[in-house]
Amino acid sequence: MSPKLPAELVAAIDALVGMRLEMIKAENFEDAERIAVQLSEKGIALTDGLDPDSGPRTTTWEMKA
């Protein structure tokens, strides 16, 4: 089990993931990919999908093992 992350770090990651989703929505794929790469380099894996109930794009994240 991985250690619990500080709330400030979780909030920062959530904010970056939210910004990435907005960039994808605006079709700014280059900057969206840049955020994904930066997070990956920090050991954060993103998983994209669709909300099964309402349909909008979602992204979840977790620390890489």
Least Cα distance to 39 among 24, 17, 59 occurs for 17
pLDDT means per 10 residues, the chain with 65 residues, are 80 97 97 98 96 91 91
Alpha carbons 25 and 19: distance in angstroms, whole number? 10
Helix or strand or coil: residue 2?
coil
Q: At residue 62, what are phi and psi to the nearest 5 degrees?
A: -155, 160
Residue 40 is predicted with a pLDDT of 97
Please report, for the chain, the start and end positions of each structural domain, with discontinuous segments joined by +.
7-63
Task: Say what the pTM is.
Answer: 0.86
Residue 65 is predicted with a pLDDT of 80
Q: Please check whether residue 59 is in contact with residue 46, taking contact to mean a CB–CB distance below 8 angstroms.
A: yes
Alpha carbons 65 and 63: distance in angstroms, whole number? 6
